[in-house]
């Protein structure tokens, strides 16, 4: 047989297949519009670099915010990282400031870097994004209630009891008409192993499970760990960034995410944004865990330039107003209220029943113990691992 001829045929075929791939490439009829970026900045601006929690990225990219920094001679360049990563794994060489969304993470960085001061220009309470039918069910079951001012609250102790009891949505009175799901009553959160908003949720839940006391000892941790672990493990897969579950809530709706633990700013910021507001439909609402915890966005300056950023954020009223437009609560509550009122939104009251997070070490210790349960291998199954 003519092997050579066949080999040539084979090569031609191979070449044709490559052409096939190339043909599958989607060619444009016009060339691209050139490389982006390259916005010319005033030459004399001092470049200041910061590592921040991703939820503040839109704020720092806002042209008005950039203009105010530029007025003060600064060009603030940011990269984003999870607040807990900032405290542990991110290389801070050459970084002028960090801006995590949690006070414990900031405290740890301050201690380790020897920063002399920190700035906490704005904060956001933890809140639960949910839907009217869900709130009706929770209210009928005595888990949620509305205060005189109209704000809804979730009774965390009653909620934990419901989760402990393995309560399903369709076991709640009225579920058949409102939310006939056999899934467990459970708040969705981010991945506790990676994300600060889940750690804030853990702060709240562990406080309540520990008899309204901050968990600060191994004994207390041992007493509550099973109860709080199940809040995360039962969820199954959860995303690592705080945007993901909230986006699922907005786009996939009540069937996917009946309740999501978020920063209040995510919801309010969306309501006040020009392009995003229509994502919030009439049946969506925020309810506040009682107690709640505050995500205190805290600047830890690592250089003098970083210090200037922290000072401006704390003292420039225009920056406070812009932060409020993104749903954050600046120190001056009237700035926050004015922004909401301007957008025709009700002003949620300042949270009264607020839990302080555990120390950085206590919180990390609980997270480590929960994380270990994700890795627990099978017991009593016969799956063959190759």
Partner 1 sequence: MRRILAVALVAAVALGVAGCDPLSEFDPAPTGLPNDEFTLRVLAGSEVKDMVPILEDAAAEIGVKVAFEYVGTLEGTELVASGAADGLYDATWFPNNRYLSLLPGATSATSTSVKIMSSPVVLGLRDDVAADLGWTTTSPTWAEIAQAAADGRFTYGMTNPAASNSGFSALVAVATALSGTGSALTDADIDAVTPGLTDFFSAQKLTAGSSGFLADKFAADPGAVDGIINYESVLMSLDQPLTIVTPSDGVVTSDYPLTLLSSADASKKPLFEKLTDWLTSTDVQQRIVAETSRRPGVPGVDTGTTFPDAILFETPFPNTLDVANTLISTYLDTVRSPAQTLFVLDTSGSMEGDRLAALQQALKNLAGADESTAGGFAAFRTRERVTLLPFDITPDAPIVIDIPDDDKTAALKRIRDTADNLVADEGTAIYDALTRAYILALDQQQDRPDTFVSIVLMTDGENTDGSTAEQFNRFFDNLGSDASTIPTFVVLFGDGDVEALSSIASLTGGKVFDALNGDLAGAFQEIRGYQ
| Positions in the binding site for partner 1 (CB under 8 A) | 1, 3, 6-7, 9-11, 13-14, 17-18, 20-33, 35-37, 166, 168, 179-184, 186, 194, 233-238, 240, 247-248, 250-257, 276, 278-279, 374-381, 383-386
∠ Cα 268 272 277 (to 5°): 95
- Nearest approach, Cβ of residue 85 and partner 1 (Å): 10
Beta bridge partners of 131: 284
Handedness of CA 249, 250, 251, 253 (dihedral sign): positive
Burial (CB < 10 A; 0-12, 13-18, 19+), residue 52, is buried
Q: Judged by CB, which is closer to partner 1: 107, or 191?
A: 191
| Structural contact between residues 343 and 182, judged by C-beta atoms closer than 8 angstroms | no
3-state secondary structure of 155: strand
Stretch (H or E) spanning 262: strand 260-263
Other C-beta atoms closer than 10 Å to the C-beta of 365 total 16
Q: Judged by CB, which is closer to partner 1: 195, or 362?
A: 195
- Nearest approach, Cβ of residue 379 and partner 1 (Å): 7
- Nearest approach, Cβ of residue 147 and partner 1 (Å): 29
Residues 96, 305: Cα–Cα separation, whole Å = 6
- Nearest approach, Cβ of residue 155 and partner 1 (Å): 21
- Nearest approach, Cβ of residue 119 and partner 1 (Å): 28
Q: Judged by CB, which is closer to partner 1: 37, or 150?
A: 37
Residue 121 backbone dihedrals phi, psi, to 5 degrees: -70, -30
Beta bridge partners of 46: 74
- Nearest approach, Cβ of residue 148 and partner 1 (Å): 32
Residues 328, 118: Cα–Cα separation, whole Å = 18
b/e per residue, 120-141, with b = 16+ CB within 10 A?
bbbbbbbbbbbbebbbbbbeeb
- Nearest approach, Cβ of residue 115 and partner 1 (Å): 28
- Nearest approach, Cβ of residue 274 and partner 1 (Å): 12
Q: Judged by CB, which is closer to partner 1: 155, or 191?
A: 191
Q: Judged by CB, which is closer to partner 1: 145, or 181?
A: 181
Q: Judged by CB, which is closer to partner 1: 116, or 376?
A: 376
Q: Judged by CB, which is closer to partner 1: 111, or 183?
A: 183
Q: Judged by CB, which is closer to partner 1: 29, or 116?
A: 29
| Structural contact between residues 126 and 292, judged by C-beta atoms closer than 8 angstroms | yes
Cα dist from 241 to 161, 188, 289, 303, whole Å: 28, 13, 21, 28
């Amino acid at each position: 047989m003519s092997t050579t001829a066949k080999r040539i045929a084979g090569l031609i075929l191979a070449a044709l297949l490559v052409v096939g791939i190339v043909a599958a490439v989607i060619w444009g009829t016009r060339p691209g519009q050139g490389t982006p970026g390259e916005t010319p900045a005033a030459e004399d601006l001092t470049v200041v670099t910061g590592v921040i929690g991703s939820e503040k990225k839109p704020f720092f990219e806002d042209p008005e915010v950039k203009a105010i920094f530029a007025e003060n001679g600064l060009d603030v360049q940011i990269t984003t990282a999870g607040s807990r990563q900032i405290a542990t794994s991110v290389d801070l060489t050459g970084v002028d400031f960090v801006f995590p969304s949690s006070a414990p993470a900031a405290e740890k960085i301050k201690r380790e870097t020897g920063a002399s001061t920190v700035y906490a220009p704005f904060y956001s309470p933890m809140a639960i994004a949910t839907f009217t039918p869900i709130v009706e069910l929770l209210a009928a079951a005595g888990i949620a209630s509305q205060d005189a001012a109209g704000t809804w609250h979730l009774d965390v102790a009653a909620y934990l009891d419901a989760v402990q009891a393995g309560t399903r949505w369709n076991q709640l009175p009225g579920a058949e008409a409102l939310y006939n799901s056999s899934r467990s009553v459970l708040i969705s959160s981010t991945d506790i192993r990676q994300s600060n908003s889940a750690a804030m949720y853990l702060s709240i839940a562990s406080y309540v499970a520990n008899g309204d006391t901050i968990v600060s000892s191994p004994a207390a941790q041992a007493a509550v760990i099973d109860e709080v672990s199940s809040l995360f493990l039962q969820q199954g897969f959860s995303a690592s960034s705080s945007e993901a579950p909230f986006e699922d809530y907005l786009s996939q709706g009540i069937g996917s995410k009946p309740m999501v633990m978020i920063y209040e700013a995510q919801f309010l910021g969306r309501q006040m944004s020009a392009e995003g507001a229509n994502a919030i439909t009439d049946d969506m609402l925020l309810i506040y865990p009682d107690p709640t915890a505050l995500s205190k966005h805290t600047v830890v300056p690592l250089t003098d330039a970083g210090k200037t950023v922290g000072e401006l954020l704390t003292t420039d009223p225009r920056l406070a107003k812009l932060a409020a437009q993104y749903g954050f609560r600046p120190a001056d509550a009237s700035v926050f209220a004015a922004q909401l009122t301007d957008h025709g939104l009700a002003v949620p009251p300042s949270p009264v029943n607020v839990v302080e997070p555990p120390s950085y070490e206590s919180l990390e210790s609980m997270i480590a113990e929960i994380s270990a349960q994700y890795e627990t291998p099978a017991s009593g199954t016969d799956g063959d691992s190759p």
